[in-house]
Amino acid sequence: MTVANAPALIKAGAGASPRRQPRSGFAKYLGLTPFAAYVLLFLAIPTALAVSTGFFTEDGALTFDNVAGLFAPNVLTAFGNSFFVSAVTAVIGAVVGALVCYALLGTKAEGALRTIIDSVSSVLAQFGGVMLAFVFIATLGNQGLVTKFLLEAFGVDLFANGPWLYQVPGLLVVYMFFQVPLMIITFMPALSGLKTTWAEANATLGGTPLTYWTRIAIPVLAPSFIGSLLLLFANAFSSYATAAALVSQGAPIVPLQIRGALVSETVLGRENMAGALALGMIVVMVVVMWGYSVLQSRTSRWQK
Amino acid sequence: MTAAQRIGTEPSKLTRGIILGVVGIVFAIPIIAMVQFTFRDGLGGGLTLDHWTGLFSEEAARTYRGLFQAIGNSAVLAIVTVGIVLVVLLPTMILVHLQFPKLKRVLEFICIIPITVPAIVLVVGLAPVYSVVVKIFGSGAWTLAFAYGITVLPYAYRAIQANLDAIPVVTLSEAARSLGAGWITVLRTVLLPNLRRGVLAASFISVAVVLGEFTIASLLNRVNLQTALLQVSQSDPYVAVIFAFLALVLVFVLLLIIGRVGSSGRNRNQS
């Protein structure tokens, strides 16, 4: 570095400070401070505040009432519903997404089909939220295109059993719209990383396509598949906007419980309950994402 | 039948067609329903262009003033968020790459955290932080970008890191330095041109994420595109859906450009 600095010292131009000594010790780390300060202020402190407020009362006294509140029946039901919605949409999303990835095997990675499916998937994986709720109200709502078509053509009334679209079952259908695309973009690299030599080895050793999949491909892909499944679970579990725009009554899932606690004007001290709920969510998220990263690192061993 | 199909690694044309066809149709129906909705004439069943032409009428500017204001807010937020990515994240990533290779794992870990800490959790702790932010910077809509900079961190990090890994950053900068260039020159004339793809992708994905953000804005009582859409949908669902559709198209175009930029770069490297 000192040698490289010498010409710069002589030329001393182009906006560089003329006297540049190799920094040592603490000064060297100065360049990292803006990012560190930013992350501290807007990520570390909010996260710490979010999970710690649950342990305090409105007046700042230590309490376990809020955390104990996590075991109230309505909160337990909300966690149960969240688990249910996340698990079901993760499993179905993972299977359907994996099927699409399988269908894309053998197409050119730079070809038009892949590029379009890649882009559409990245858009739709990002598409959760208010706009997604609109899409499904226009499709399956009371006056939705599909609802009216089924009623007029076959006499099938989708809403015979009540307004399911605006309750937990509706979330199951709507969440698929971002779960499947997320699976496609996370699982495709693993599937296209399968080596053709493995299939050839299987064939020359007298294996059938069935043995190729059951003995080679599926065992190799399993960690990646389950990892992606966990990511989908976390994705659905933490999703708020879609449910906020769609669910008409009550707070059947945990993120809506947090909203209820945050905006409540009738019951004081509910902000601290939001903290306890946030803590509960983070515990689930950390466990799931930890599993994801462990499985992901197992996959990356053979992917390169 | 190709060899790959015969030994079972690839699906046949028919299987591929069935899978992609069925999934494609299931995903196309809601989008079609969305577009059809914007042409619906009330609960009647007829179709009309009124909802689209109404947007360009003279009273539209007044009726939808709140919505246009919110689009302005979201545009400002997108610009400031991209600014944070370029001014705070990008230099840090280059610095870590060049000077502190040991900190790479730490930086990656930090940048992935926002996936584990969802917006709905972050917003609980952001409320007190923002009561301080408002005292220092005022309550301008742009201040929300501080929170959005964190939200886009995983996406922006991944886009820039992929580019950093693909070019010999250390060799390039040492070559430039040994020829007498100062750090600013190295950054401006050597590194940034090589990182153009990653920086562009990071900026576009940040714009896409900011335009779709609802959770933080709504729970901090701020106004952005998504909160305004929800508001408008209660009085005029057609206009809300039209804007949702336009936002979807815009994001699709942005991501298509990212894909194009990415693959054209790859082709150039191969040739």
Q: Are B39 and B48 in contact (CB under 8 A)?
A: yes
The whole-number average pLDDT for the span B65-87 is 90
Closest chain B residue to A125, measured at CA: B209
Is the pLDDT at B269 greater than 50, yes or no? no
Domain residues for the domain of B83 are 66-270
Q: How far B162 CA lies from chain A's nearest CA (Å)?
A: 14
| Angle subtended at Cα B36 by Cα B35 and Cα B39, rounded to the nearest 5 degrees | 100
Residue B9 is nearest to which of A43, A199, A258, comparing CB atoms? A199
- Going by C-alpha positions, the residue among A242, A141, A161, A227 that lies closest to residue B120 is A242
For position B86, what pLDDT does the model report?
93
Q: ipTM above 0.85?
A: no
Residue B30 is nearest to which of A115, A136, A240, comparing CB atoms? A136
Would an 8 Å CB–CB cutoff place B251 in contact with chain A?
yes
Asked if A47's CB is within 8 angstroms of B30's CB, the reply is no
Write out chain A residues lying below 8 Å of B226, CB-based.
129-131, 241
Closest chain B residue to A181, measured at CA: B27
Give me the sign of the Cα torsion angle A161, A165, A167, A171. Answer: positive
For position B141, what pLDDT does the model report?
84
Residue B255 is nearest to which of A13, A50, A119, comparing CB atoms? A119
Write out chain A residues lying below 8 Å of B230, CB-based.
130, 245
Determine which of B16, B92, B106, B120 to mutate to test the interface with A (most A C-beta atoms within 10 Å).
B120
SS3 annotation, chain A:
CHHHHHHHHHHCCCCCCCCCCCCCHHHHHHHHHHHHHHHHHHHHHHHHHHHHHHHECCCCCECCHHHHHCCCHHHHHHHHHHHHHHHHHHHHHHHHHHHHHHHHCCCCCCCHHHHHHHHHHHHHHCCCCHHHHHHHHHHHCCCCHHHHHHHHHHCCCCCCCCCHHHCHHHHHHHHHHHHHHHHHHHHHHHHHCCCHHHHHHHHHCCCCHHHHHHHHHHHHHHHHHHHHHHHHHHHHHCCCHHHHHHCCCCCCCHHHHHHHHHHCCCCCCHHHHHHHHHHHHHHHHHHHHHHHHHHHHHHHHHHC
Asked if A32's CB is within 8 angstroms of B118's CB, the reply is no
Asked if B91's CB is within 8 angstroms of A99's CB, the reply is no
Asked if A110's CB is within 8 angstroms of B263's CB, the reply is yes
Asked if B119's CB is within 8 angstroms of A238's CB, the reply is yes
Cα separation, B147 vs A107, whole angstroms:
40
Asked if B177's CB is within 8 angstroms of A278's CB, the reply is no
Q: Are A290 and A280 in contact (CB under 8 A)?
A: no
Q: Please tell me the least confidently modeled range out of B2-6, B17-21, B40-44.
A: B2-6
B174 membership: H or E segment, kind and range: helix B169-178
Q: Please tell me the least confidently modeled range out of A245-254, B37-46, B222-231.
A: B37-46
Q: Are B39 and B51 in contact (CB under 8 A)?
A: yes
Q: Which domains does chain A have, with CATH numbers?
A: 59-303 (1.10.3720.10)
For position A116, what pLDDT does the model report?
82
For position B124, what pLDDT does the model report?
87
Interface of B with A in 186-225 (CB under 8 A): 208-209, 212, 214-215, 218-219
The count of structural domains within chain B is 1
- Going by C-alpha positions, the residue among A94, A229, A78, A96 that lies closest to residue A168 is A78
The whole-number average pLDDT for the span B138-164 is 89
Write out chain A residues lying below 8 Å of B16, CB-based.
103-104, 106-107
Cα separation, B111 vs A171, whole angstroms:
29
Asked if A134's CB is within 8 angstroms of B237's CB, the reply is yes
Half-sphere exposure (CA, 13 Å, Cβ side) for B77?
Answer: 34
B21 lies in a domain?
no
Asked if A47's CB is within 8 angstroms of B244's CB, the reply is no
Q: How confident is the model at residue B148 (pLDDT cuts 50, 70, 90)?
A: very high
The whole-number average pLDDT for the span B154-183 is 86
Look at B58 and B242; give whichever has higher pLDDT: B242
Q: What are phi and psi of B7, to 5 degrees?
A: -85, 5
Determine which of A104, A134, A149 to mutate to test the interface with B (most B C-beta atoms within 10 Å).
A134
The string of pLDDT tens digits covering residues B120-144 is 889 888 888 988 888 888 888 888 9
Asked if B4's CB is within 8 angstroms of A196's CB, the reply is yes
For position B83, what pLDDT does the model report?
94
- Going by C-alpha positions, the residue among B229, B237, B232, B230 that lies closest to residue B43 is B237
Would an 8 Å CB–CB cutoff place B30 in contact with chain A?
yes
For position B1, what pLDDT does the model report?
53
Residue B252 is nearest to which of A123, A135, A203, comparing CB atoms? A123
B57 lies in a domain?
no
Average pLDDT, chain B: 83
For chain A, 304 residues long, the average pLDDT of each consecutive 10-residue run is 41 41 65 90 90 79 78 86 93 94 83 82 80 86 78 76 80 90 87 82 84 85 88 90 84 86 67 85 89 79 61
Would an 8 Å CB–CB cutoff place B14 in contact with chain A?
no
For position B3, what pLDDT does the model report?
62
The whole-number average pLDDT for the span B57-81 is 84
Q: Are A130 and B34 in contact (CB under 8 A)?
A: no
Which residue in this structure is represented by tokens 């999303």? Answer: A93
For position B76, what pLDDT does the model report?
93
Write out chain B residues lying below 8 Å of A35, CB-based.
88-89, 91-92
For chain B, how many residues are written? Answer: 271
Token couple for B207 = 């714009």
Closest chain B residue to A4, measured at CA: B178
Cα separation, B18 vs B9, whole angstroms:
17
Cα separation, A21 vs A1, whole angstroms:
9
Look at B128 and B269; give whichever has higher pLDDT: B128
CA-atom Rg of chain A in angstroms: 26
Q: How far A212 CA lies from chain B's nearest CA (Å)?
A: 7
Cα separation, A50 vs A95, whole angstroms:
35
Asked if B120's CB is within 8 angstroms of A258's CB, the reply is yes
| Cβ neighbours around A44 below 10 Å, total | 16
Give me the sign of the Cα torsion angle B12, B13, B17, B20. Answer: positive
Is the pLDDT at B68 greater than 80, yes or no? yes
For position A7, what pLDDT does the model report?
41
Asked if A134's CB is within 8 angstroms of B233's CB, the reply is yes
Write out chain A residues lying below 8 Å of B90, CB-based.
none
Cα separation, B206 vs B159, whole angstroms:
10
CA B164 to chain centre: 20
B10 lies in a domain?
no
Most confident range, picked from A217-231, B75-89, B101-115: B75-89
Cα separation, A282 vs A288, whole angstroms:
10
Closest chain B residue to A51, measured at CA: B125
The per-type count for chain B, helices as H runs and strands as E runs, is: 17, 0
Q: What is the CATH number of the domain that holds B254?
A: 1.10.3720.10
Residue A46 is nearest to which of B125, B185, B226, comparing CB atoms? B125
Q: How confident is the model at residue B77 (pLDDT cuts 50, 70, 90)?
A: very high
